């Protein structure tokens, strides 16, 4: 934000001229490239850059739109970026200077209090959501399944198969849903102790 103040001095008396708030927004579309971070999905990236899942899928020749990897570079077609500029000018006269200064101080204090309250509320909400997720094993399990395969028991990616993308050697030739659930529970329990811990590891590394 650029704030321009025009000071005009006439016969030793200073007055600030011009009043109004002018805001302008410009948008531009362009193809960009992004690097996949932990927790990213194609849908999340498409929403962030105002693109679409199908456009990203075609642009990057994705065989499975539900499988992207941390560190992978994706082309985002028709990405939209928005720039907003605001110019503000205030009008005062010498007799109004004291009042204007007082009002400005009060408005600044009010804005500061609002920002503090908003930040506190956001932090509190985030903490509650994190606590709920970490204590729910079933939620963590469903989260991992969605990240790995979109929840499909028949998803295949090289040597990895099923809802939890387990190594085919773990499944021992039995690709039934019941066996996938059994083997996934056994694998997570032995390696991480809980699905919540497995989710935390996935968030940090992009796999589990």
* Cβ neighbourhood burial of 76 (10 Å; 0-12, 13-18, 19+): buried
Query: Which of 44-48, 71-75, 121-125, 181-185 is the least confident region?
Result: 121-125
CATH topology of domain 137-205: Lysozyme (1.10.530)
CATH number of 26-82: 3.10.350.10
> Do 26-82 and 137-205 agree at the fold level?
no
Mean per-residue pLDDT for 26-39?
75
SS (H, E, C) 148-167: HHCCCCCCEECCEECCCCEE
Residue 91 has pLDDT above 80, yes or no: no
The whole model's pTM is what?
Answer: 0.37
Dump pLDDT digits (tens) for 141-176.
999 999 999 999 999 999 999 999 999 999 999 999
């Amino acid at each position: 934000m650029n704030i321009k103040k025009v000071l005009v001095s006439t016969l030793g008396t200073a007055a600030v001229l011009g009043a109004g708030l002018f805001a302008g927004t410009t948008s531009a579309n362009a193809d960009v490239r992004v690097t996949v971070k932990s927790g990213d999905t194609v849908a999340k990236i498409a929403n962030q850059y105002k693109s679409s899942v199908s456009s990203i899928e075609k642009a990057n020749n994705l065989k499975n739109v539900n499988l992207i990897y941390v560190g992978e570079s994706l082309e985002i077609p028709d990405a939209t970026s928005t720039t907003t500029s605001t110019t503000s000018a205030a009008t005062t006269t010498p007799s109004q200077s004291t009042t204007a200064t007082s009002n400005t101080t009060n408005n600044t204090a009010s804005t500061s209090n609002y920002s503090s309250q908003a930040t506190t509320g956001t932090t509190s909400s985030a903490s509650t959501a994190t606590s709920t997720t970490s204590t729910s094993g079933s939620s963590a399990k469903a989260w991992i399944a969605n990240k790995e395969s979109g929840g499909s028991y028949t998803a295949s990616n090289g040597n990895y198969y099923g809802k939890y993308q387990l190594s085919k050697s773990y499944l021992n030739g039995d690709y039934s849903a019941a066996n996938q659930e059994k083997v996934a529970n056994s694998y997570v329990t032995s390696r991480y102790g809980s699905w919540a811990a497995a989710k935390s590891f996935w968030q940090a590394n992009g796999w589990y």
